[in-house]
Each structure stands twice: as C-alpha cells, then as structure tokens.
C-alpha cells in the first residue's frame, strides 16, 4: 500500500520519516523543496503533481498549518477532489476548525472518499521520536482500519467520535496547554520576585498535584531562556483563534483562553511569534521587570 503525505513542515517531516522507518511506501509533496529532498533521501518518492499522488496512493495524509490550507489542498483548484479515486481514505492530521473538517469530509464523501480528522499533540520532540498523541474523528470502522498506521507516528491513538471530534478534542487540549503555560510562568515569576529559586520550586512541586507534562517540558525552557520552537507562539495563536471561533458558535465561555490569547498576541507584536509557546514567560517578565532564571 502506498501512502501520500502532503505537508513536510516542523511536524510533518519527522512524522513522514517515522512512517518510512516503519516500512511504509510514501509519496510526498510540499512547497519546500529542501524538505521534500530530505524525506526523499530517507526513502520516499516525490509526487510530480496532485494527480500523480492520488493515482498511486490508497491513503492520503495531510499535515498543514490551518483550515484554509487543508481546504485548498483537498477542495481547491488542482486539489485532491479533482483526481482522488473512490475508496481512497483521506486523513487530515492538521489542527483546524472542526467545522472545516466536517465540510471537507462531506465534499469528499460525494466522491466516495472516507475521511478522518486526526490532529496531534506533543510538538516537534514527540513528532521526532514517534510518541505523538492522536485524537481522531470519523467512522469507527475507518478508524480501526487505520489505527495501526497512525500508531507508527504516535504513542496514543484515541477515537473521539464522528468527523470533527478529533479537532474539537485538540482545541480542548490547546486550551489546557495554553493556560498551563501561563500558570507556570505566573508561578515561577512569583517565586523569582519573592527570592525563592524557580528551579527549587519546580523540583519541589513537580511530583505533586501541580506536576504536569507541561510543567516538565516548559519550566526548564523558561529558566534556561531557551525559546527555540517546539511549538510556536504563532501556531498556538492559530489554535486559540479556532478555539474562540468554535466556542462563540456554541455559546461556550472561554475566559482563560481569551486572556492567554491576548498575552500571545502581545508577544507576536513584539517579535516573538516564532518563539516556542513557553515564551509566554517573557510576557510576565516584561510586566514584572524581572527575568525568570535558575
């Protein structure tokens, strides 16, 4: 079975490489020629066109920035819908608006194509080591048929419900991550201002109820002022935009998400949009006039 893979960015490239390591035959496409060349060097084939990719592949995966890009690739002029074969399965691993997932699925269903929305959590480090968490929406039988495929890129592959449920779950994930990062920043800044070592605070609380994957991943980055992106501020702004849009359509309150969104927008405006989302600490540092350090 050949698999098409569209989108070889910070996440897609290592995910594609993990599929190759697992023995899958891949046909890849991306606007970034260097990324394509790197994955081809690892064993993939390059698609000469969308029709070339759809003609060869029984499953097509996408890992793209946001709803407009997925919609264009799937339904736009020259998109998958123009040449995709009935019976193909389309799995979108991008984090997009769940309404867009449902619209794309409906359009592809008219062509005899099943779709799963399967966004991921874990950032670049987990994409590299193949331990991402997948949240999947779609028909249960289609999920079961492709669970093992997704499992070659992730340590957790969980069925969440009908199409769009994967992206609803991802939005919930992004709320918790964003608010957690802000809480870690706020707590470490309090310790810094009070003259207590943020590192000792971190070591003392990480094994208790305040401990979390976010705390372990982001507190050391904040203290080391290492804001090399595993997941960029700008990407989290994109996800929170989708949170707020979805919540507005459902009349669901988003007090904390809205506050963290404003922090991240401020960081984007000051030039930190491409920094890791742990750079929310810099927002607190600017307000407090003090840097978090070990």
3-state secondary structure 144-206: HHHHHHHHCCEEEEEEEECCCHHHHHHHHHHHHHHHHHHHHHHHHHHHHHHCCCHHHHHHHHC
Tell me the Cα Rg of the chain: 20
Percent of the chain surpassing pLDDT 70:
100
Distance CA(175)–CA(254), nearest Å, equals 9
pLDDT, tens digit (0-9, with 9 covering 90-100), for 59-101: 999 999 999 999 999 999 999 999 999 999 999 999 999 999 9
pLDDT tens digits for 23-60? Answer: 999 999 999 999 999 999 999 999 999 999 999 999 99
Share of the chain above pLDDT 90, in %: 97
Give the pairing type, strands 120-121 and 132-137.
antiparallel
Q: Nearest 5°: phi and psi at 88?
A: -70, 150
**Residue 206, by phi and psi: left (phi above 0), alpha (psi -120 to 50) or beta?**
alpha
CA proximity to 244, closest of 258, 234, 224: 258
State which fold the 169-288 domain adopts: 1.10.1040
pLDDT at 230 over 90: no
CATH class of 2-162: alpha beta
Q: Where are the domains of the chain?
A: 2-162, 169-288
What's the predicted TM-score (pTM) here? 0.92
Contact 178, 231 (CB under 8 A): no
pLDDT of residue 1: 86
111 counts as catalytic: no
Confidence of residue 123 (pLDDT cuts 50, 70, 90): confident
Active-site residue among 13, 170, 218, 232? 170
Q: What's the token pair of residue 188?
A: 């470490």
CA 67, 69, 75, 77 dihedral sign is: positive
How far is the C-alpha of 207 from the C-alpha of 263, rounded, in Å?
A: 28
Label residue 232 by pLDDT band (50, 70, 90): very high
Helices (H), 82-164: 98-109, 123-129, 140-151
Question: How confident is the prediction for the chain on average, in pLDDT?
Answer: 97
């Amino acid at each position: 079975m050949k698999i098409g893979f569209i989108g070889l960015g910070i996440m897609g490239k290592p995910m594609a490489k993990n599929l190759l390591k697992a023995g899958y035959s891949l046909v890849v496409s991306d606007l970034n020629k260097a990324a394509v060349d790197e994955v081809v060097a690892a064993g993939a084939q390059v698609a000469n066109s969308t029709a070339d990719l759809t003609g060869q592949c029984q499953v097509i995966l996408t890992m793209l920035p946001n709803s407009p890009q997925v919609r264009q690739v799937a339904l736009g002029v020259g998109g998958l819908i123009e040449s995709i074969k009935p019976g193909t399965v389309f799995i979108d691993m991008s984090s997009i608006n769940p309404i867009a997932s449902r619209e794309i699925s409906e359009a592809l269903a008219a062509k005899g194509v099943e779709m799963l929305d399967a966004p991921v959590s874990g950032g670049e480090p987990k994409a590299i080591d193949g331990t991402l968490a997948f949240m999947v929406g779609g028909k249960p039988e289609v999920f079961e048929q492709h669970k093992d495929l997704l499992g070659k890129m992730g340590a957790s592959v969980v069925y969440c419900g009908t199409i769009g449920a994967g992206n609803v779950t991802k939005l919930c994930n992004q709320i918790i991550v964003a608010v957690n990062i802000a809480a870690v920043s706020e707590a470490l800044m309090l310790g810094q201002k009070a003259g207590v070592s943020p590192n000792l605070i971190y070591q003392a609380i990480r094994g208790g109820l305040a401990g979390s994957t976010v705390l372990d991943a982001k507190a050391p980055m904040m203290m080391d002022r290492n804001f090399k992106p595993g997941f960029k501020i700008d990407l989290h702004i994109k996800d929170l935009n989708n949170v707020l849009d979805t919540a507005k359509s459902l009349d669901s309150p988003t007090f904390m998400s809205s506050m963290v969104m404003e922090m991240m927008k401020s960081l984007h405006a000051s030039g930190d949009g491409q920094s890791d989302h742990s750079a929310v600490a810099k927002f607190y540092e600017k307000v407090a006039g003090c840097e978090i350090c070990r």
